[in-house]
Chain A
């Protein structure tokens, strides 16, 4: 597998000065401005970048699957030397699937919900050759075996909703390779999947493309994924390719400022909070995330300088104690099974696990948003588990336990501007009346969360993702809670925004002495943010302990499996070196 197409040889795919525009209500918007890329046969090219960088639009322009509002304004796309930029729909139909195929983010949505797996795969085969129904079924079975699905015979008649996300993505891969295309474009194929599933799906993709000599374009926001699986990586920002190189040299010695920031912001097995967005890189940066940081940079810089551990003294009393918590849902599903842990004042505890491990349910139980089936929750020595969740808003302890939700958009009332969002808990829980005191407190919280005061008048849809996350944090700290529960607070954010938000949370904890319950699927983030970590699987605790020790020498096989699935910028094997060195 040669990484670079030798000059003179026709590349499999050549994109030449591609421009894509979208017509919106505010006029034409150029999403891709002058992208040139080449993919050689059998090569894997990674395109990385944050949301809005134009990486997916490039892929959809290549396959001519853009929305009706988008069109190729200029440039050429050549496949095997043939210009496909203005191919007719008939030509495109013979290209799609047979020459270039795609797999998508959200695999379950990408499959027809009311058609069985066998029929859908047979459709994909039948699009390019004439086959009978029984042949189609036989081919579907072969393809299911090729993508290593367990019990392939049983899956033939399954519907997508009966399968896990990872299995749906395997079926999508089976459909994409059904007509033996020469190029596979994978658009964020593992976003939203668990780390272990991500690993198996990506390993499968790498194996299939190698076996069949297929080229692949892997579009991802995850630098680790690109580093592990690509021969060559292109970094995109604002619709342009800013840097293109072999992954090892690209991530070890990035040349472009944006790549440098991106690499720094990606949490690795060794990075510290302060490293994520070093101040040296912030000079002259025009990025949204960095601009956002401008409101209160002193706090961030302070925390960036302060690298010492802030462990509570051994005698610190327990703030939260969870005893044998059980949550059963109707139909006998046990979401949380006999979970016990404790958080001391000012301590941060991480809850990690894959989807279905019960970590979000626990965060909601602790916040008293739902009722436990069994077990007790003690807050500051007082039992709070008995009071019904629907009445807990009356409890004097409500203001002491606040939560930051996963989705910064959905967790804000679209009819409230930022000021009202932050003032809401003050009005409801502290019964503050409108006036100077309220508006001063709101401004103070906004400043603490790094939200510029001039944005307080804006409504959620007028704010960026990072700004909305800041509103959510400002709202949660408005009542000066003693425990802040963070349910995947950065899962929906780009890495550079995540870096700034994580630094903010860390400095809030250091300066206000808040205890944190940090729920995340990202092990690197938890390792940086939390003193202690609890590993969950299927609703039960597998392992808990000091973060550093737990990540250095995991005891439970499941924890080891999770850690092995974590990707590293320097490719595989780097963690072992770190462990050996430390």
Chain B
């Protein structure tokens, strides 16, 4: 068992090292991409449309944009190496502290959405596989199709319309806590955890109420791939020889479905969940916008629209790093869930 953990750790380490060149590539690529995109930040940040040439030139110099591109790249890489991601011109804050403030909001939303999605998708997929071709199967397929074909901003608005405007069950969709609740002392940045740590259950409930609608909106979109892969993997393992063996030995139905079929079927679900998580984190900008959620994606979008290089580069680097971390986590989980993986 311990040797299995050791090989898993070794493999994770190797994966991490092999992902470093990719991270470096992302860094350089985003840098170059920002330079070729249309829009001149110096013009944008000049005092106004009447700004003179000299003023723009001055700003350009202060931003280091007058230097040749390779030199800018080297300086940028040096800055990143020392942990300096630059300063956002729109917020006036260092990008690193902006991201640090906003990332927990995005992560909390994405984690909740992923949990909701998994707890919906796995039972749906299992039910569909157990009754393949039945009404249940078709209903699940319908739900999945609906979830995929309705864009998140539409489903988000519909949910707001129904639960906030018509029913009044949800609080107004603005931010992470309503203005009457005082935020908890900062521990992790995850409000649900921080409120729980502080023992402020009133605040916890308020934060949870704010979280429910955006999380469900996001979950709706990813239930489909998770449920479909669960169904396919379940069908494969239900039809496998070892499930037939379990049946031939008279094992209880519940044990066959959960311990034999589902535990084997969960492996591909794990892989897809990792991919889905990374996608959600980066692509949830629409949800963040609709619910005025102070996350990193909406921050990066605002920066992009105003040709503010540093936050966009920082955001892309952050996403790439999270992608690497998520892959590593999936790898480690895979090693724990499937003993065959640790064999080299």
Binding site for B on A (CB under 8 A): 63, 65, 89, 92-98, 101-102, 104, 106, 109-115, 123-124, 127-128, 157, 159, 161-162, 172, 175-176, 178-179, 331
Contacts and interface: CB of A to CB of B under 8 A. Distances in A.
B246 interface: yes
Nearest to A68: B132
Interface stretch (B111-119, B276-284, B336-344): B336-344
A93 B249 CA distance: 8
Given A112-B260, A113-B264, A65 B250 contact: no
B247 interface: yes
Interface string B112-136: 0000000000000000000000000
14 contacts: A92-B250, A101-B248, A101-B249, A104-B244, A106-B241, A114-B337, A123-B259, A124-B251, A127-B250, A128-B250, A161-B343, A175-B249, A176-B249, A179-B249
Contacts of B339: 113-114, 159, 161
Q: Lowest 5 A-B CB distances belong to which pairs?
A: A96-B250, A97-B250, A97-B249, A109-B241, A102-B248
Interface string B311-344: 0000000000000000000000000011110011
Given A97-B250, A98-B250, A114 B264 contact: yes
A89 B254 CA distance: 13
A342 to B, nearest CB: 38
B248 A112 contact: no
B249 A123 contact: yes
Contact of A109 (B240, B253, B263): B240
A104 B247 contact: no
Nearest to B243: A112
Contact of A159 (B241, B246, B259, B340): B340
Nearest to A119: B259
Given A123-B249, A128-B250, A159-B339, 13 more contacts: A63-B248, A92-B250, A94-B250, A96-B248, A98-B250, A101-B249, A102-B245, A113-B340, A123-B246, A124-B249, A157-B1, A162-B343, A172-B245
Contacts of A109: 240-242
| Interface magnitude class on chain B | 20 to 34
B252 interface: yes
A114 B264 CA distance: 7
B246 A112 contact: yes
Central interface residue in B245, B251, B263, B340, by most chain A CB within 10 Å: B245
Given A93-B252, A127-B252, A114 B245 contact: no
A110 B337 CA distance: 19
Contacts of B250: 92-98, 127-128, 179
Given A113-B340, A114-B263, A114-B264, A123 B244 contact: no
B255 interface: yes
A123 B260 CA distance: 11
Contacts of A106: 241
A112 B249 CA distance: 13
Given A112-B242, A114-B263, A97 B338 contact: no
Contacts of A97: 248-251
A93 B250 CA distance: 5
Contacts of B259: 115, 123
A114 B336 CA distance: 10
A303 B264 CA distance: 53
A178 B250 CA distance: 11
A39 B208 CA distance: 66
B249 A96 contact: yes
Contact of B242 (A101, A110, A162): A110
A92 B340 CA distance: 33
B246 A114 contact: no
A106 B242 CA distance: 10
Nearest to B266: A114
A110 B264 contact: no
Nearest to A176: B249
A112 B343 CA distance: 17
A65 B264 contact: no
Contacts of A110: 241-242, 244-245
A178 B248 contact: no
A104 B337 contact: no
A111 B245 contact: yes
Nearest to A157: B1
A301 B278 CA distance: 68
A106 B245 CA distance: 11
A65 B244 CA distance: 7
Contacts of B264: 112-114
B264 to A, nearest CB: 6
Interface in B93-147: none
A162 B263 CA distance: 19
A90 to B, nearest CB: 10
A129 to B, nearest CB: 11
Contacts of B248: 63, 65, 96-97, 101-102, 176
A101 B1 CA distance: 32
Contacts of A92: 250
Contacts of A63: 248
B303 to A, nearest CB: 46
A35 to B, nearest CB: 20
Given A114-B339, A161-B339, A161-B343, A96 B241 contact: no
Interface in B212-268: 240-242, 244-253, 255, 259-260, 263-264
A240 B107 CA distance: 65
A74 B337 CA distance: 45
Contacts of A175: 245, 249
Contacts of B263: 114-115
A301 to B, nearest CB: 43
A106 B251 CA distance: 20
A114 B338 contact: yes
Nearest to B338: A114
A106 B240 CA distance: 12
Contacts of B337: 114
A158 to B, nearest CB: 9
A495 to B, nearest CB: 25
A176 B251 CA distance: 12
Contacts of A112: 242, 245-246, 260, 264
Contacts of A172: 245
A113 B248 CA distance: 17
Contacts of A331: 344
Contacts of A115: 259-260, 263
Central interface residue in B244, B245, B249, by most chain A CB within 10 Å: B249
Nearest to B247: A65
Contacts of B246: 112, 123
Nearest to B249: A97
A96 B252 CA distance: 11
A486 B338 CA distance: 37
B224 to A, nearest CB: 26
A109 B264 CA distance: 13
A94 B247 CA distance: 11
A63 B248 CA distance: 8
A391 B250 CA distance: 55
Contacts of B338: 113-114
A104 B241 contact: yes
Nearest to B267: A114
Contacts of A94: 250
Given A115-B259, A161-B339, A127 B251 contact: yes
A104 B244 CA distance: 10
A124 B251 CA distance: 7
Contacts of B343: 161-162
